């Protein structure tokens, strides 16, 4: 029963991280890092780096930059074009890191699921 609950929670984390990174990558990284650093969420070993204050700070800074870039005509289009190619691999990497210590096939599967 415990492994079933662990599977469901890992699947929820993989899908949630992949979905959230598609909407706002930097907010997703900052929220995951902050939740892990405060002890509100136990991050898998592959995502423990997100708890580092430097990672959280950079993610918050990039969130603010993205907020203002989104409000500036012209910059918004360029930003979205660039981030179309950044969000997908980042979501895949976050999802692959969320599954923790598993077989390479499962890690690749999670990456594909999180990147789509």
> What pLDDT was estimated at residue 2?
60
Note the pLDDT of residue 51.
94
The per-residue pLDDT for 63 is: 95
pLDDT given for residue 40 in this prediction: 92
Look at residues 33, 23, 19, 6 and name the one whose alpha carbon lies nearest to residue 106: 6
The reported pTM is 0.82
> Which sequence spans correspond to the domains of the chain?
11-115
CA dist list (Å): 115 to 10, 21, 68: 16, 9, 26
What does the pLDDT read at residue 8? 82
Q: What pLDDT was estimated at residue 32?
A: 92
10-residue block means of pLDDT along the chain (116 residues)? 73 83 89 93 87 95 94 91 86 80 76 73
Which pLDDT score, from 0 to 100, does residue 14 have? 80
pLDDT value of position 44: 85
Torsional class of 28: left (φ above 0), alpha (ψ -120 to 50), beta (otherwise):
alpha
Can you list the pairs that 63-72 forms with residues at least 24 positions away whose Cβ atoms lie under 8 Å?
A: 63/24, 63/26, 63/27, 63/30, 66/24, 66/26
């Amino acid at each position: 029963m415990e492994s079933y609950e662990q599977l469901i929670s890992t699947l929820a984390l993989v899908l949630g991280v992949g979905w959230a990174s598609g909407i706002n990558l930097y907010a997703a990284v900052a929220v995951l890092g902050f939740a892990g650093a405060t002890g509100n969420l136990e991050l898998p070993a592959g995502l423990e780096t997100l708890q580092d204050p430097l990672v959280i700070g950079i993610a918050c800074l990039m969130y603010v930059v993205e907020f203002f870039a989104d409000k500036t005509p012209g910059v918004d289009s360029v930003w979205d074009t660039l981030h179309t190619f950044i969000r997908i691999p980042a979501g895949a990497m976050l999802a692959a890191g969320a599954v923790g210590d598993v077989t390479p096939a499962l890690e690749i599967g999670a990456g594909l699921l999180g990147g789509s």
